[in-house]
Structure formats: C-alpha cells, structure tokens
Structure 1
Amino acid sequence: MAAFPEGAPCWVDAMVPDLEAGKRFYGELFGWTFDQGEADYGHYTQALRDGQRVAALYPVPEGMEGMPPAWSLYFASDDIERTAGRIREHGGEVVTEPMQVGPHGSMMTAKDPGGAVFGVWQAGAHEGFERQYQPGSFGWAEISVRETKGVDAFYPAVFPIEPVAYGDDSVDFVVWQVAGKPVAGRFKLPEGTPDSVPPHAMVYFVVDDCDGAVGTVRRLGGAVRVDPQDSPYGRFAIVEDQQGAAFSVIDPRTTVGEPEVQG
C-alpha cells in the first residue's frame, strides 16, 4: 500500500540559485540537516529533521538560469501516466512529461487551468515525507489562483479529491479532502493582489512560534510578505527566504476563532 493516498500532498522541494546558502537558511530556521546531494540527480539534496525526510533543495539546473527561486508541491499518484492523461483531458497542461527518477519513483510537473504549477509523484523507494504536521516539517498547502471556475472542476477530476467550501464573503477558500481527511486547499487571490504575484502553490511549514520564526527569517536576510496573523487554523505568516523563494510558517496550536463552513 502506498504511503500517501492519491491526491494527497506527499513532497515539497525548492529550486534555489545558491544551494549552500539555502542549506544555511533553512538549517537555522527549521533545524534541518541535509544529505549529500547526488551529482547524477542534479545535486538534489534532501532535508532531514531528526533524521526524517521533510523536503529537498536543489540548485537551478543548467540552462534554466534566471528562473525565480520557488517551492514546489507534489501530489501523490498511483499511476502517473493515468494522472497525466487526466490532466490533459480536464484542461490542464503537462509541463514536464512523466519520467523515472532511478529507483526513487516517477515525477512530472503540470499546470492547472488557473496557471498554477504543481508536481506529481508516484512513489518508488522514495515514498515522500517521513515527518509532517510537526515542527520543522510540512503542515499544509494551498493552490492560489486568480480565477477559480476551471480550477475547482479540475482537481477533483484529476485526483480523488472532495472539495468543501470554507470561509465567509471576504474569503474564497475551498478545503480539499482525501479519504475524508483535509489535505490541502484552493485559495482565490483577493482583488488588489499585485500582478507580480502569479498563481502558485503555497507551502506551509509548522513552527513552534510564528512570530519567533518570522524574526529568524528577517535576521537571516529573508523578507516578510504578510505579517503574522491569527486564524482558526493557527497563527501564520507568509515569508521569503534570502533568495526570494516564498513559503509560509504556521503555529497550528495557536488558533483564534472557528472555521466558517459553507452549507
């Protein structure tokens, strides 16, 4: 049986211009250590927290210089070729065709109808996260888009996702459930979001103290996009590392209010 049900987030990685600088930043922020990246796989370097795999960093590949640093989100698939077919059938675009990554598994990248890029992973020897929902590891993810019509039909057609609308009139937010459990969400970017912010996958990492983590981000040369704020799901902030890759930090123990579930 696969470690992650189809449609659930199973892995994240970040492409950064300077791998060593990335290791220093995330090592101090999240307490990560790193394996020795394999040259055969583009120096893809896995991050560990307490000896468990939590994410990966890799340098910008040759020929892709100038690509902006970014975190990527991968959804689990039981059959990556079948998933690629569904993506095409339901209005998405296959950006990188399914490929075998040695004994580790198979991967592809795709773009949804709203323009957000995401990855798909079919596990081999590498099943995905060994630690999540704990400090220093993955806690949540959202696909943030400007237009929702095609997107809201797309993901449940590609993956066995059940959408549940949350929020009030001021927030357009849908939680995705897989096998009855919330795993990720779709967020509509609000009016007034700068044009420089494209549709994207936003990855959240769990921390013990949101405000303290934001202070560490600043001290390490990163930036804050959205200051710490409370929510029914935890106190969170949106930040950037010192190379410009955006992500969120969240303390899920510090909650304010109750989620608004639409009927």
Structure 2
Amino acid sequence: MTAPVREEPCWAPDASPEDRPHRATTGASSGRVTGGLTADVAVVGAGLAGLSTAYHLIERDPSLDVVVVDARHPAAGASGRGTGLLGPRVGPSIDRAARRYGPSMARDMYLASVTAVERVVALTEELGAPCGLRGGGQIVATRTASGLASLARQARTYQALGLDVPVLSAADIRERLDVPYHAGLFHRSAGTLDPAALSGALAAACAAKGVRFHDDSPLRGLRPGDGGTPTELLFPSGTLRARKAVLAVNAAAGPLGLPVGTVLP
C-alpha cells in the first residue's frame, strides 16, 4: 500500500491563516479577491519573485498602491519547498548560452547571476531575516565521461569570457569534500538558506510598508491593458484592475496560457 503524499513544506509546516507572516505582523491580508478592486501595481504570485518585486517597488516609491495576490498564500509553492541552494548561473550552461545568445550576453548573464547572489545576501541582512544563511562556494562536479566533456567545454568558455570559475581536479575536490568525483568547476559566490523563512520575512516587510495581500485567489484569466486602459485580472470571486501587472506565477503560467520563462510588456 502506498503511503499518502505529504504536502507540507520541508522547511516548516504551513502556518495557519492567522499566523502567516503578512497577517501576524500587520493583519494586512484582506482574504480573497472579491468584487471589483483597483491598484497601481498588481503582483500575482507570492513567492520569492513576486514578494521581492513588491518589496523593491514599495521601497522605491512608498506612494504606490501595491497588491500581492496568491492562489494560496505566501511561500505556498516552490519558494516554501525549495532546496535552499543559493548560487550563480542562469539559463543554459555557459557554453550553450554563448552559442545561443553570443559571448557578450552569456558573460553578462553569468555576472548578473553572481550579483543576484550578493543581493540576496544583502537583502537577508537588511530584513534581519532568520533564514539560516550560510555563505560558501559551490562545486559543480562529475564522475562520468560525458560530464567531463561538458565541464571541459564550460571551463574553456568561462576562461575565454574572462570569468573567474576555477577548474578543480579530483584531489582538489577531496580537499574540500571526501567524495569520489573526477573534476569540477568552483563558483565562489554561493550559499544555503531557508527559502520559506526568507519568503515570510519579505511578506512581513511588504505588509509593514503598506502592501495589501489577498490570499486564496487563483488567477483565472486576464485582459491586458493598452496604454491608458488598465489590465484586468480575473479571479473566482472578483476582479482586480491595475495600471501595471507582474505575473510571478512560475509553473501556473502554462495552464493560464502564458508563455513560460518570458518577460512581456
């Protein structure tokens, strides 16, 4: 007999509605989207991407009316269940990125990912988030022939682009970790943290700055605006019209008919 699948986050159990950070701190959640609501900026998705967007928007312009809406509640999705690995690299491997986008863009993408790690570290300090942040390097290692070939291609590209990603031999890896890998690449900027705790701290900080929250409101559709017309977001119990909308919905993009991994005006 198969055991039932547990849906609680690995970091901590789902908080009760009353104890969720954005409610417990300020009582900022107004429940589901009901009726016809308006906002300057609507952020759909209360994971790390959506919450950090709302946080930086309200930090930059406190006069904005920012609303964050989630199908369940902050950190209910991947941001409350992730591995907690904080490291550089984005998109395809560096050699593929250089072929696909050109060497200059590939280099800029990698450097932007390194900067992103540094900004997350700074953000946890700014928020005073108790998320167990531990800094350190990250080793991408292999012990297969195909893996060695792939790492060799990446190493050549990193070197050609002037990026500081050293190659580690088997002996170099064993000095750091007693594991039987043949070679690796060492990324200096990395760490681990509790993503659920960071998400909770972001939600509480947003609420304290006046960001409004609506939980238990899955997005069902949208009518994009066109310049002077606001975008209208459709929910089961109401609508939300906003001058700008940020859809940070991750895996929910497909069912909504939205292009996955794409930024649109």
The TM-score with structure 1 as length reference comes to 0.28
The TM-score with structure 2 as length reference comes to 0.27
Query: Could you say which structure has the higher helix fraction?
Result: 2
Greater RCO (Cα-Cα under 8 Å, separation 6 or more): 2
Query: Could you say which structure has the higher strand fraction?
Result: 1
Higher Cα Rg, which structure: 2
